[in-house]
Structure 1
Amino acid sequence: MCLDAIKCDPADMAADDCEVLATALKWMDEGRRVVMAVVMVTWGSAPRSIGSYMAVDADGTFAGSVSGGCVESAVIAEARELEPNEPPRQLAFGVEDETAWQVGLPCGGNIRVAVFHPERDLLEEAVRSQAVRQPTALVLDLATGAQALVGDDGARGTLALDETRLVAAQMHLGQGTCGVVADEVFVRSHEAPWTLIIGGAVHISQILAGMARQAGFAVTVVDPRRAFADEARFPGITLICGEPDEVLAGITMDRRTAVVSLTHVPRLDDAALRAALGSEAFYIGALGSTRTHAKRCQRLEDLGPALKRMAAPVGFDIGARTPAEIAVSVLAELIAVRRGKPMRVRG
């Protein structure tokens, strides 16, 4: 089966794993048979990280990816063949396989994937917990397929956890990591989605919102101006018409949240930045020239050292001039900081 023949919902190959889980739950609620695939182990230059999800229905429609396109066809075929009461199938793919150029990883690297039947109640709870930014960890018994979901309030599911497994699950939960424990169970932590809050429903925001969503961010745009906060201008994006300080007061801005203010209106930019600089947001940026930023810092001087957390002018210096180029520069720096690269020091 070639990838061109596989049905895929639009843009699902670029969907982040939070969306994959939500899609799988939606399919199950529609009465569709759903099988999940998850990357358990990687070696070398594997294109997708441990924990990457893919959901497959009985017709071969899929959401997400486990290798970025290299082995999806083989994984989908295995998922469609998985019998209702069959335990997980463990699949290994690598460049050394004799079928490397057909279903392997010609770019180098190896991956091990588990294909299993998700437990609907646990899937629903995982999706609900992510929506309110509460982490959970799925524990999958590789021999039986039994599962447990571990959260701050304990564990539930068909898998009874002994002390060793519970401790391992709690460790992964606390660190936001994934891994195989003693070749017996796979633990997959679910953290809150990476989130981008954009202040100002301006032209740059329209482009940045769509690009950021494709890059795996849950995007919210905030603007009190009704002419700007028009849903037709931001299809598929959460749009809130309200004052930035009031809206952001009701939003959790944690270490997986970025805030970028692009309104061009000092009062609105300042309100958003004050709220963001008092939070744990991993990235805070504001549009404007060096001169504009100097005036901004004067207005916000009471925040003291916190102002050093602000990326302004926002984004990488790539000589951007058009709204699309500015959006690219902002998203590039967001991704770099999210991946642990140091933020560019402003002059």
Structure 2
Amino acid sequence: MDERLFAALASWLEHRAVVLASVVAAQGATPRRRGSRMLVTAASSLGSIGGGLAEARVLDAARGLLESTSTQASIEIDLGGGAQSAGVCGGRMRIALRRWSTQDLERARAIRDLLAGGDRVVLGADDLGAPGVEDLARPDVRLLIVGAGHCGAALCELAARLEFDIHVFDARGECLEQPAFASAHTHAGDVGVLGSLLEGRRDVQAVLLNRDFHADVAALEVLCARPPRFLGMLGSRRRIGEVRKALPGCREVLRGLVAPVGLDIDAETPHEIAVSILAQLIAERRHY
């Protein structure tokens, strides 16, 4: 979310002041954890710090800050179930509010560009509007989909809503012309292009959804030279075993291969399979 959020911040600041609301502390059961952020303008917002009455109070406080001469404020959200609390979850959250204006445009663009380049960015107290607090803004994880068949198309469609930097490879260029891949970066031709997609500092989650055994082997020969953070492959257990046997030189890397990829939810259709894979990818990237 940080990559999209700071790109929007840099764009919006060209026309209006914007409040950055950040969860800087969370205890007990809360809807969002530390590091969750949202943007608030006088008429709109982007992102979420949890929804419900808690978020409504944050929106009111942020818009109050926009009308004031101050640049920062904070709001405590009590979810303990009392008369003045915002919920009954049982936890507490502290939200820092920082009003950004046109004089902050250069900093917003710098953060945007660093995240777009795959770098993490330390957000200081002045960025957050929280004295003594630092946080880390993270670029989107790259989702590398290898195979542009039915499952690859379904995975790309659903992942487009989940803040991934999506790249799709298939040797067959005509397969990449489907509408499902319109929002992704697509690559056709020689499988060696996969190596360039593993370069840089951005975390990569690679999922093999190829149509045949030979395509799996060719892709894994490239991916094993520079293993991504997550490597998963779809297929029957027999096929997976045959792929492993065909790559004796990759045995050590393939110990970490998640195959068959996806949570076991008895998925059958392409979109059900995509849901099972995305649930696993989300769980994995929470630890990055």
Higher deviation after alignment, 285-294 or 229-238: 229-238
Q: Partner of 1:186: helix, strand, or coil?
A: coil
What is the one-letter code of the residue matched to 1:290?
R
TM-score (norm 2): 0.88
Residue of structure 1 aligned with 2:33, choices 42, 46, 49: 49
Q: Partner of 1:316: helix, strand, or coil?
A: coil
TM-score (norm 1): 0.74
What is the one-letter code of the residue matched to 2:20?
M
- Provide closer, same or farther for how the CA distance between residues 68 and 217 of structure 1 changes in structure 2, counting only shifts above 3 A: farther
Residue of structure 2 aligned with 1:99, choices 84, 97, 105: 84
User: Are positions 1:67 and 2:50 aligned together?
Assistant: yes
- Provide closer, same or farther for how the CA distance between residues 70 and 204 of structure 1 changes in structure 2, counting only shifts above 3 A: farther
Write the distance in 2 (CA, Å) between the matches of 1:239 and 1:28.
32
Are 2:147 and 2:168, in contact at CA under 8 Å, matched by a contact in 1? Answer: yes
User: Are positions 1:78 and 2:61 aligned together?
Assistant: yes
- Which residue matches 1:331? 278
Write the distance in 2 (CA, Å) between the matches of 1:260 and 1:295.
18
Residue of structure 1 aligned with 2:115, choices 113, 123, 130: 130
Are 1:28 and 1:34, in contact at CA under 8 Å, matched by a contact in 2? Answer: yes
Write the distance in 1 (CA, Å) between the matches of 2:159 and 2:278.
7
Higher deviation after alignment, 208-217 or 247-256: 247-256
Residue of structure 2 aligned with 1:36, choices 20, 40, 43: 20
User: Are positions 1:313 and 2:260 aligned together?
Assistant: yes
CA shift digits 1:12-39 (9 cap, x unpaired): xxxx23212212222223x132211111
User: Are positions 1:108 and 2:55 aligned together?
Assistant: no
Are 1:255 and 1:282, in contact at CA under 8 Å, matched by a contact in 2? Answer: no
Unmatched segments (≥5 aa) in structure 2: none
User: Are positions 1:117 and 2:99 aligned together?
Assistant: yes
CA shift digits 1:81-106 (9 cap, x unpaired): 21464131110111245333xxx133
Identity among equivalent positions (%) equals: 29
TM-fit CA distance, 1:235 = 3.6
- Which residue matches 2:183? 236
What is the one-letter code of the residue matched to 2:142?
T
Write the distance in 2 (CA, Å) between the matches of 1:313 and 1:115.
44
TM-fit CA distance, 1:72 = 1.8
Are 2:227 and 2:253, in contact at CA under 8 Å, matched by a contact in 1? Answer: no
Are 2:154 and 2:180, in contact at CA under 8 Å, matched by a contact in 1? Answer: no
Residue of structure 1 aligned with 2:269, choices 322, 330, 334: 322
Please tell me the root mean square deviation across aligned C-alpha atoms, in Å: 2.5
